[in-house]
Amino acid sequence: MSSQPRIAIDAMGGDEGVRVMMAGVALARRRHDGLRFTLFGDEARIKAALDRHPNLRAASDVVHAADVVDGSDKPSVAIRKKNSSMSMAIAAVKAGDAGAAVSAGNTGALMAMAKLALRTMPGVDRPALAAMLPTLGDNDVVMLDLGANTECDARNLVQFAVMGAAYARIALDLDRPRVRLLNIGTEDLKGTDEIRDAAAILRASTSLPLRFEGFTEGDKIGRGDTDVIVSDGFSGNVALKTAEGTARFVTDVLRKAFTSSIRSKIGFLISKPAMYMLKHHLDPNNHNGAVFLGLNGVVVKSHGSADEKGVANAVHVAARLVEEDITRRIAADMAALQEATAAKLELSVK
């Protein structure tokens, strides 16, 4: 791979738009001075924002996009906006002009555009949305699917496991990540037929670069005893939103408790270092950057409400996946999965 990966940026996405996107990309550039960017969006607004970030300006090309995908646009509407900043950023990846695209725009539109333009790689039926979540362990956990596919069969879940493990090998620097399926219990008989069938396939696929360790439950997602958690998109999205809501609930309750009296305020001053650690650990900006795995190209979704630190983290995720050639890794693992499955079928026939 190139020592200077180029990232295509949808500069118009996100709640704050150009200002925060450019500030975040500039921060990523300061952290990783080998990065190059192509910035898609309103040329005048982008160039005005770049005046505050000369280091980024020197490493960027600006391409004017006449249209913008709105947060309320349905995927069918967004796809028709060929001259939107989102569409043009993805097209740059398809053409090979950029190694990855980053957008904080409409998730459904981004998924539809990316799938239509880049297509799924051989051996992958459906792409999945994966993200890193904080845990109590030494590492974060990769979780997928987080909403791209509301219904999945066993084949989909197995493919998600393989793709998630490939991502974890890069993001967590692991040789054989521990993989579990999200379920309503840890016993072998629990769950739907699809989940149990997926577990059986993964248990039998011992040649894959992962360690399948059975099932996990929703209350154990943050425990840190696994590296990849696999689910259908419906369950995964519910689990993610529940975790995010719980984190906000905890911080709000603590804030209210520490401001309820003079004694509480004194207690806050004493425990301020621990509170800062908690806030840092739960801050979604520190884990920003969800990835559409299984496409012929890298597309990273930044949260719409991300600040500049969150945008920088999403760019870092994109750059790391380009540098480590995630697409090639997944393709190789999918080929190995198909070979193992074919060999097993051949033995069963004999």
Q: How confident is the model at residue 244 (pLDDT cuts 50, 70, 90)?
A: confident
Question: Is residue 104 in some structural domain?
Answer: yes
Q: How confident is the model at residue 115 (pLDDT cuts 50, 70, 90)?
A: very high
Does one domain contain both 140 and 271? yes
Residue 304, pLDDT above cutoff 90? no
**Low-confidence winner among 66-70, 131-135, 241-245 (lowest mean pLDDT):** 241-245
Q: Is residue 8 within 8 Å of 61, Cβ to Cβ?
A: no
Tokens, residue 338:
């198909």
Does one domain contain both 298 and 280? no
**pLDDT value of residue 274:** 55
**Low-confidence winner among 53-62, 128-137, 238-247 (lowest mean pLDDT):** 238-247
Question: Is residue 350 in some structural domain?
Answer: no
Residue owning tokens 């943050």: 222
b/e map 223-232, b = 16+ CB within 10 Å: eeebbbbbbb
Number of domains in the chain: 2
**pLDDT value of residue 215:** 96
Question: Is residue 149 in some structural domain?
Answer: yes
Q: What is the mean pLDDT of residues 65-78?
A: 90
Question: Is residue 347 in some structural domain?
Answer: no
**pLDDT value of residue 293:** 95
Residue 260, pLDDT above cutoff 60? yes
CATH number at residue 210: 3.40.718.10
214 three-state secondary structure? strand
Question: Is residue 333 in some structural domain?
Answer: no
Residue 19, pLDDT above cutoff 60? yes
Q: What is the mean pLDDT of residues 195-220?
A: 92
314 phi, psi to nearest 5 deg: -65, -40
90 phi, psi to nearest 5 deg: -65, -40
Question: Is residue 167 in some structural domain?
Answer: yes
Q: Is residue 138 within 8 Å of 224, Cβ to Cβ?
A: yes
**Low-confidence winner among 221-230, 240-249, 266-275 (lowest mean pLDDT):** 266-275
Does one domain contain both 94 and 158? no
Q: What is the mean pLDDT of residues 246-252?
A: 75
> Domain range spanning residue 209?
125-288
Q: What is the mean pLDDT of residues 259-272?
A: 68
Residue 27, pLDDT above cutoff 70? yes
Does one domain contain both 214 and 69? no
Q: What is the mean pLDDT of residues 142-155?
A: 92
Q: Is residue 42 within 8 Å of 12, Cβ to Cβ?
A: yes
Does one domain contain both 89 and 44? yes
Q: How confident is the model at residue 268 (pLDDT cuts 50, 70, 90)?
A: low
**pLDDT value of residue 72:** 87
Does one domain contain both 146 and 280? yes
Does one domain contain both 148 and 82? no
Does one domain contain both 138 and 106? no
Q: How confident is the model at residue 342 (pLDDT cuts 50, 70, 90)?
A: low
Q: How confident is the model at residue 312 (pLDDT cuts 50, 70, 90)?
A: very high
Does one domain contain both 75 and 189? no
**pLDDT value of residue 28:** 93
Does one domain contain both 116 and 129? no
Does one domain contain both 117 and 129? no
**pLDDT value of residue 126:** 93
**Judging by DSSP bridges, how do beta strands 178-182 and 6-10 pair with one another?**
unpaired
Question: Is residue 348 in some structural domain?
Answer: no
Tokens, residue 284:
């979604």
120 phi, psi to nearest 5 deg: -80, 145
Of 129, 76, 107, the C-alpha closest to 235 is 129
Q: What is the mean pLDDT of residues 139-149?
A: 91
Of 133, 152, 143, the C-alpha closest to 232 is 152
For 277-290, the pLDDT digits (tens) are 555 555 667 778 89
**pLDDT value of residue 275:** 54
For the chain, give the mean pLDDT.
87
Question: Is residue 319 in some structural domain?
Answer: no
Residue 169, pLDDT above cutoff 70? yes
> In percent, how much of the chain has pLDDT > 70?
90
Does one domain contain both 187 and 114? no
Q: Is residue 165 within 8 Å of 228, Cβ to Cβ?
A: yes
